[in-house]
Structure 1
């Protein structure tokens, strides 16, 4: 994402509309140091178009409702912004490089936690996120892969989801393998983790770095189809009639058995049994399946299943 486009003077906090002012159509954030960007704002347009375009064909199903800018207006917010700049310079000097490798990235969170993060910073419960898939820390999706975060973002009572668009200091990243219990850089030369060296889908900012190497800049509030919001597959649940594209888990396992190695299918079946035994949540189950299968193949299988249903 282009830093210059997001740093446009058109979007500074003196020229946008406060969410506390009457007449604003959406009031999700009060007293959070956020200012709503108008739809005519250059940065609003840039973020919205980038967000939608990176979703590909799925972008047509997503509606951006509001974009808010973090003004870093309180004393503590200003201090965090200054600390971020200081750490950025320190990482650059440590790596003897021209850059600290600062990137824009998405972070999935609830509406309530947006205010908490902006007021107090990121918190760490002592348990790895996403059931410890990639260790202990905060997981961010590269700005060109927003779907990774959309599928983890909770839906609020108004049917909206919220993503923080943050600047993150990656510095020198190391590869983190699936199932890692890592909680800090493996050595002094590294600053962050990634899940793939050539085409990362996850940036891992360790719990030791999450309040020095991350700076929330914008909040994007949007509506997305249910199938994008909670995952692409369903486990049987009582008194729930699906209204969006889905596939029963047993059928998914059957289809995957035609493509994947038996060991992978066995692992997915184990996760499914763990879910039925309430050892893991549905969210964790879906995340693990996505990690093994991949979103593109899941979507292809679901579309094929739905087509067969309509033809039957």
Structure 2
């Protein structure tokens, strides 16, 4: 039977949620009345008394980046089907296996995934992560959701959606930015991380996505910016740049001189996904707008149209991919 995002258990703004970094014993399930009740929080706490903590951490983390987020709802996956229960049990089995390999610590944490639509959320909950992640899955630490927010897309209702997942990280290795690594460098490692000192991204290899990642919550939110990076217009939709077009290579070249390397890396990644037909053009545009901000894009495109950029930018022979 088809499930929608509303089939998840709704948590009101008065509920609370939190982060549990405990061992496998706190990740076990209890069968009751044919359903599975996941215990992914410390035994002394209930899920209801933790939801506010997830909400407040998410909002506070984005506020430090100059972004104002309104967490509209938090829903927990009910795990009411036989297949859903099987996925929970599989996750527990792999957590125990990793624990045996890594001195008793499976390194289970919460992490965010930015969805392109609520339909993608439903599809992941029903069937797991698909072929679009053949090179691995990139998630954001629970206390640093920005990169996943950048990967999320705004819907017609002005809402964006993130999945908060349980992730078995095991022993991690640093994967340099821009690396095309798609598997562990050796059997010694279970997952990747961009930095141990200030992590912004976890990497789960493709052959482990549907055993080491367990979707648990859906956070639906609206986003505005206190610094002007993401300008929100009528009905929550970002304001569109007024200039009609600019070839992507020219845009990328200019942005590379302005934005930090991490942002440029994401833009390059999304453009590659577009060229490989993994995402649609409007999704690429939406992601670039979220990263760079409409104010900067309008300025760059207007300058291009006014012929203030070097002519070499316009002789790329590339199709214009920035069309809104």
Of the three residues 50, 54, 59, the one matched with 2:61 is: 54
Of the three residues 73, 93, 116, the one matched with 2:100 is: 93
* 8 Å Cα contact 2:67-2:223 kept in structure 1: no
Q: How far 1:180 moved relative to its partner?
A: 2.5
* 8 Å Cα contact 1:155-1:229 kept in structure 2: no
For 1:169, the equivalent position in structure 2 comes to: 168
Q: How far 1:254 moved relative to its partner?
A: 6.1
For 1:245, the equivalent position in structure 2 comes to: none
Are residues 283 and 118 of structure 1, via their aligned partners in 2, closer, same or farther at CA, if it must alter by over 3 Å?
A: closer
Q: How far 1:98 moved relative to its partner?
A: 3.1
Q: How far 1:196 moved relative to its partner?
A: 1.6
- Please report the RMSD computed on the Cα atoms of aligned residues, expressed in angstroms: 4.0
For 1:218, the equivalent position in structure 2 comes to: 217
State yes or no: 1:74 paired with 2:74: no
What 5-or-longer segments of structure 1 have no aligned partner?
1-26, 129-135, 241-247, 306-312
Q: Report the TM-score when normalising by structure 1.
A: 0.63
* 8 Å Cα contact 2:163-2:218 kept in structure 1: yes
* 8 Å Cα contact 1:142-1:202 kept in structure 2: yes
Provide Cα deviations, 1:165-184, integer angstroms capped at 9, x if missing partner: 01101001111123323222
Are residues 123 and 254 of structure 1, via their aligned partners in 2, closer, same or farther at CA, if it must alter by over 3 Å?
A: closer
Could you tell me how far apart the structure 2 residues matched to 1:197 and 1:75 are? 38
Residues paired across the two proteins, number: 236
Could you tell me how far apart the structure 2 residues matched to 1:196 and 1:190 are? 15
Could you tell me how far apart the structure 2 residues matched to 1:122 and 1:64 are? 24
After TM superposition, what 4+ stretches of structure 1 lie above 3 angstroms from structure 2?
Answer: 57-60, 226-230, 234-237, 248-256, 278-288
State yes or no: 1:108 paired with 2:139: no
Provide Cα deviations, 1:28-49, integer angstroms capped at 9, x if missing partner: 7244xx1101222132312111
Q: How far 1:251 moved relative to its partner?
A: 6.9
For 1:209, the equivalent position in structure 2 comes to: 208
